[in-house]
Amino acid sequence: MAKSSAGPTVRSRRLGAELRRLREAAGLTAGEAGQAIRASDAKISRIENGRVAVRALDVGDLLTLYGVDDVGQREAILVLARETRRQGWWRSFGDVVPRWMEVYIGLEADASSINVYQSSLVEGLLQTPEYAAAVIRSTWPELPGDEVRRRVALRTSRQERLTGSQPPRLWVVLDEAVLRRPVGGPDVLDAQLRHLLDAGTRPNVTIQVLPFNVGGHTALGTSFTHLAFPDPDDPEVVYLEVLTGSLYVEKPEEVRQYRDKLDHLRALALNPRDSTEMIQSLVRDQP
């Protein structure tokens, strides 16, 4: 049950899935489970979705309620519960990271495969510091300079995993509009395009461009990220960022729809070599 090859966020999802399975096997509602640990049914739902950490003491009470008497099974689940409370590296940025973003960063940190479609901005894992700062200032113009710098530092820290010893497979499809929008001005965009060319030479990074001439497609007006994990017991998840938070798609049939969208977009997009040539032409076209 308890596995060591993941961080606290993925472990929270494992724990939540196991607790949901045990509750349903016991024929209990979330409200009944909540009463056992003096919590609401909404909190039980967040625990079972892996969105919040839970005390080992409360997990023990839930296991008793669910009739889990086997000593080995209880201990494995309690060990997992204790590990979910271990802090990830991103907690040092807790002053600038909202809780909904913490969840995503934790999932991203454990993903073996990160697949992205971006319709308006360069994917965060591929942004230069100057481009990232311009995005942050445009999105939150009220932020003081120190907080902008902290958020840029967080984004840069997330990128370090791409060049680590066991980097994830990153596959990004960028709408052509992303390459032409002068976020931060022409010089910032030019440096960003050059950075994309450099990133695309890495063996674990694939960049494709979806040109304007494809017309309409299945993901018009949306951007999303699909994450897969090394352990097949950790289900895939799709992340969508909205203005005030985030949405997670985790039902297998819904995740499959997004995978199909990605396959459709990859088929429509320029292949990696032609995408590189388009980016190079735009770099040359910069005034």
Residue 4 pLDDT: 44
Question: Which segments of 77-187 are extended strands (E)?
Answer: 113-118, 169-175
- Asked if 120 contacts 177 with a C-beta cutoff of 8 angstroms, the reply is yes
DSSP state, residue 108? H
pLDDT on residue 286:
56
What is the pLDDT, as a whole number, of residue 169?
97
Residue 224: closest CA among 106, 132, 119, 110: 119
pLDDT tens-place values along the chain, 287 residues long: 444 456 778 888 888 888 998 999 999 999 999 998 898 989 999 888 887 778 889 999 999 999 999 888 999 888 888 877 777 777 788 788 777 788 888 889 889 999 999 999 999 999 999 999 999 999 999 999 999 999 999 999 999 999 988 999 999 999 999 999 999 999 999 999 999 999 999 999 999 999 999 988 888 888 999 999 998 888 899 999 877 678 889 899 999 999 999 999 999 999 999 999 999 999 965 55
Q: Taking a C-beta distance cutoff of 8 angstroms, is the pair 110, 85 a contact?
A: no
Q: 3-state class of 256 per DSSP?
A: helix
Among 167, 129, 169, 131, which residue's Cα sits nearest to residue 150?
129
List C-alpha distances in Å: 213 to 42, 66, 134, 150, 216: 46, 57, 28, 39, 9
Q: Which residues contact 197 (CB under 8 A, 6 or more apart)?
A: 276, 279, 280, 283
Is the distance from CB of 94 to CB of 101 less than 8 angstroms? no
CA 158/CA 105 separation, integer angstroms: 8
Partners of 246 in beta bridges: 241
238 phi, psi to nearest 5 deg: -115, 135
Give all domains of the chain, ordered by start, each with its CATH number: 8-84 (1.10.260.40), 92-285 (3.30.870)
- Rounded distance between C-alpha atoms, residue 271 and residue 273, angstroms: 6
Q: Which residue has the tokens 């080992």?
A: 56
As a whole number of angstroms, the distance between CA 244 and CA 111 comes to 24
What distance in Å separates the CA atoms of residue 163 and residue 210, rounded to the nearest whole number? 26
CA dist., res. 182 & res. 188, Å (int): 8
Distant-in-sequence, close-in-space partners of 90: CB < 8 Å, separation ≥ 6:
97, 102, 105, 106, 109, 154, 157, 158
Q: In this predicted structure, what is the pLDDT of residue 62?
A: 93
For residue 59, give the H/E element and its range.
helix 56-65
